[in-house]
Structure 1
Amino acid sequence: MRRIIAATFVSLDGVMQAPGGPQEDPTGGFQFGGWTFHYFDEATGAALGQMFDKPFDLLLGRKTYDIFAAHWPYAGEDDPIAVLFNKVTKYVATRKDATLDWNNSQSLGADVAAALTELKKGEGPDLLIQGSSDLIQTLLRHGLIDEYNLLIFPLVLGKGKRLFGDGTAPAAMKLIRSQSFPSGIIMATYEPAGDVKTGSFALQDPSEAEIQRRQSLE
């Protein structure tokens, strides 16, 4: 069975829009494109490279696909990530009729969730999401993401497309591994861990003040 892994750059407040450059995705008036650039160093780059050590295929929303297709085929054979990305299969969630010109690219069709449910049942490498915030929201609604591999950057962006947007179903997460870097970046890997469990630190017999406080909220 294949897994879907969301490998994502996020700010401390959960924004994932346009990490690579000002022209990447300025939609919605986003003004901070390229916010990851000054944090990368050799150690972070090496850790990021480990993400691609295991076999994978790419799973992309149409906007991210267009960004990648305009960059990676032209990056040169001396770039190891370009070599990988150009070789693997690219599964694309798209409503457009335009041809997917990047080699080894194929559309997921009209029902993305159904197509991915079937793909996950088959044999093959993990399906690695890069960027693709809109696609991630669809997969969150259908519970199709098996792992979150997050690079969390030490800044707050205030607005922009978020990893966990409106309508995300509540869920507990289990931390699988983590690593921090001198730049302030934290790499953390999580897996879904069932429903959110709640409890209470309140006194077993609430005080009169607490009873009044609760009543004031009604």
Structure 2
Amino acid sequence: MRKIIGGVFQSLDGVIQAPGGPEEDPTGSFKYGGWSTSFWDERMNAAMGAVFDQPFDLLLGRRTYDIFAAHWGYLGDSDPIAASFTKCAKYVLTHGDQSLDWKNSHRVSSMEELKKIKSAEGPDLLIQGSSTLYPALFAESLIDRLFVMTFPVVLGKGKRLFGEGTPGGRLKMVQSDISSTGVIIATYEPDGKVPIGDFGLSKPSPAELQRREKIKKGQW
């Protein structure tokens, strides 16, 4: 069975929109396109190389597919990343019927269809961008691993990795590093339900009991 691996560039406040350039995705009046580009160092290059050195196919949302096809699809085989992206299968999870003209592109219309692709033989499926995919993929327990680079910037608004509809869950860190520019490079895997504990007093104080009553009455 294949694994689905999310490859993520995110800000400290979880925004993943348009890390690569001002024109990449300005929707929603996003004004910080290209926010990741000044942080790169050799440690980050090595970490990314380890991800792309393994056989992979791409799993993309429609808008990220459009971005990739318009960029990587025109660089030619002289660029090693463009060559690998063109050669691999590109599965586009979309309900639309727009044409997918980039070589080796395939439309995926539902989660059930994606589950069949995941259960078949083949290389792992690597997500790039595609913020709209994550809530549904987590809800269906289809994410096997997250490779996350967290950059030391706060963007305030924009599309986020854990968008609306993402279910709660625990993750375990299986690998980590930090770049010379302060980028946290970490790999996570799902690890069951959110653990619930309590740092409160063994016996609530009278003030705490009053506070809880105010919460119940909508007065807090």
2:154 and 2:35 map into 1 onto residues whose CA distance is 10
Within the candidate set 187, 190, 193, 1:189 is matched to: 187
Contact 2:2–2:124 at 8 Å: present in 1 too? yes
| Paired residue secondary structure (2:181) | coil
1:37-96 per-residue CA deviation (whole Å, 9 max, x = no partner) reads 111123212221111121110001111111111111222433221121111110111233
**Where does residue 155 of structure 2 map in the other structure?**
157
Aligned pair count reads 216
TM-score normalised per structure 1: 0.94
Unaligned runs of 5+ in 2: none
Taking only aligned residues, the RMSD between alpha carbons, in angstroms, comes to 1.3
Q: 1:57 to 1:215 in 2, by over 3 A?
A: same
Q: Which amino acid aligns with 1:94?
A: T
With 90-99 and 207-216 compared, the bigger mean Cα shift is at 207-216
Please name the residue that 1:15 is paired with.
15
Secondary structure of 1:24 counterpart:
coil
Q: Displacement, 1:98?
A: 2.7
Match for 1:53: what amino acid?
D
Q: Distance in 2 between matches of 1:6 and 1:197?
A: 23
The question of 1:126 aligning with 2:128 is answered: no
SS of 1:48's equivalent in the other structure is helix
- Give 1:143 deviation, angstroms: 2.1
The residue number in structure 1 matching 2:87 is 87
Q: Name which of structure 1's ranges 205-214 and 82-91 shifts more when overlaid on structure 2.
A: 205-214
Choose 198-207 or 120-129, whichever is displaced more: 198-207
Whole-Å Cα distance in 2 between the matches of residues 78 and 47 of structure 1? 22
Q: Output the amino acid matched with 1:171.
A: G
Question: In structure 2, do the counterparts of structure 1 residues 208 and 95 end up closer, same or farther at CA, with 3 Å as the change threshold?
Answer: closer
Report the identity percentage.
56
Mean alpha-carbon deviation: is it higher for 200-209 or for 173-182?
Answer: 200-209
Residue 3 of structure 2 corresponds to 3
Q: In the alignment, is the contact (CA less than 8 A) between 2:18 and 2:24 conserved in 1? A: yes
Gaps of 5+ in 1: none
TM normalised by structure 2 equals: 0.93
